[in-house]
Structure 1
Amino acid sequence: MRLRIFLEPQQGATYEDQLAVARATEEAGFEALFRSDHYLRMGDRSGGLPGPTDAWITLAGLARETSRVRLGTLMTAATFRHPGPLAIAVAQVDRMSGGRVEFGFGAGWFEEEHAVYGIPFPRTARERFDRYEEQLDIITGLWSTPVGETFRHEGVHYRLAEGPALPKPWQTPGPPVVIGGTGPRRTPRLAAVFADEYNVPFCSVADTGAAFGRTRKAVVDLGRTKPMVYSAAQVLCVGRDEAEIARRAERIGREVEELRLNGLAGTPDEVVEKIGRFGELGAERMYLQLLDMADLEHLELVAARVAPQLG
């Protein structure tokens, strides 16, 4: 099981906060640092200073300030950007990082943040997914078009005239694509067609297993032979004893028992046991949602007491 750190900077974090976590993530030996792609704080709107940071601008900075850790998003919203410029931006960050980028990509869902920043939001989930599928086709097509050849797209929502499909990412044919969610039909099919990794966020072990099963079936139905990586994301709250667990839970506004049920909470041994249950389902990666970004000792504890038990 490989461990990755996952941040929610829209809740109130500067670039410097994220850089500190990125450096700590790398120094502690974790595999990757991922961040959300949101422009509005969730929950209490009275806080959230200093305001949102753009995911790909942030990752570009982190690409130049780190050397080993992989970098990505869970998930970039298809509603935020046009597919052509997004393909360029991600390819550029991949080159800036020396090939350490992974492209987590979703349809977009948080309508309020679109309204606040004047971003058009398709009225129906069907239209959002139609646009999302076209964007997946365009972005992966632009990256995979051989140098010297051209790419064009004639779709319902997007039309790209014939062009050189540049720049190319560092990785060939492009950064790994991560698709996530628990939708019963389109999500498994799109993952089977486009994804290198399928992620289930913030679900119980049983629900995660069911979602993995739907995607595995879609992979078989499609006749796909390329391996799929399966992963899960869970909120993190680890402590050496009950007092430390309770202190960390309080700082993120959660109850300990609720976190034990719905996240990775408890002593290091408890957390290892629960991660093992995800591993039994076939999960190869676990994204640890670090909600208190000032608590770098939290990462040190996981690196020292949890990671070594996972092999």
Structure 2
Amino acid sequence: MGKVVVITGAGAGVGRATVTEFARNGCDVGLLSRDPGRLGEAVAEARSFGVRAVGIPTDVADPEAVEAAAAQIEDQLGPIDVWVNVAMATVFSPVSKLTASEVERGTAVTYLGQVYGMMAALRRMRPRNRGAIVNVGSALAYRSVPLQSVYCGAKFAIRGFTDALRSEILHDKLKITLSMVDLPAVNTPQFDWALNKTGRRARPVPPIFQPEIPARAIYFAAFHPRRQTWIGFPTVKAILANRIAPGLIDRYLASAGYTGQLTTETTPADAPNNLFHAVPGAYGAHGRFDASARSESWEVFTSRHRNALWAGAAVVGLFFLHRLARRVDV
């Protein structure tokens, strides 16, 4: 019997790819998502790998619903070993066009949804003194961009909550791991169904990565914990550049942050909007950017193999030190 893994936002996008990654590696999966139809398709796909799968229609912004889903999964699959928080919601809009209810809802799903997931997982993992929690973060948790203030604010908050919890876990000497995987631009359906008040179709800022890349990083973090994993050089670049010259980045994004996130196409009048209600339909892990999305990330490779890389660097360093010492002796 495999590990029992809970994945939120499991119906589409990175969450859907993450379900597939854990299932193909023999893990039993509990899937939380809002749309029952898409959830059923994800469950069927997971079961095709020969594992057990349970799908529970859940709005992660509802703490009681998250707690009930966790209890149901343990009743049907057994003790939860891994909890992965992926669910998110965003709004493409300048702040001047946002409403209070839109800000509240986006924050509740993206930030509080992860908080409620961590709390539900800890209630079960703490008495057993084992388990792993993986939170999905973003480069935008370190460097905000215009038109996504709701999402950026929520991702910053997740990072703050996660760091506080990590210190508490260390203080209590618990054998529970807590990791964060920070994403770049990913080819998911969010750019077609997120509430968009800009008048133009949204797009991820290139380079774009396929959702299977973060899914593999999430799986790895669950069983080979890293405090953080940065996916894609754009994530590394955004985080480090903001540390060095945040004012300069502010000015750059004042212009490039608009054109980079929007196409020249007008947003359709009947464009779907999943902020308050699930959008039905055959959405999967991928969005509409398959032709331009990358399937590999060097940064994920280096994180997964960091021990070997550090060992290799140490050998190279010792070699050159030895050569230098011989020259000095001469």
TM-score by length of 2: 0.35
TM-score by length of 1: 0.36
The structure whose residues are more often helix, as a share, is 2
Work out which of the two has the higher radius of gyration on C-alpha atoms and give 1 or 2: 2
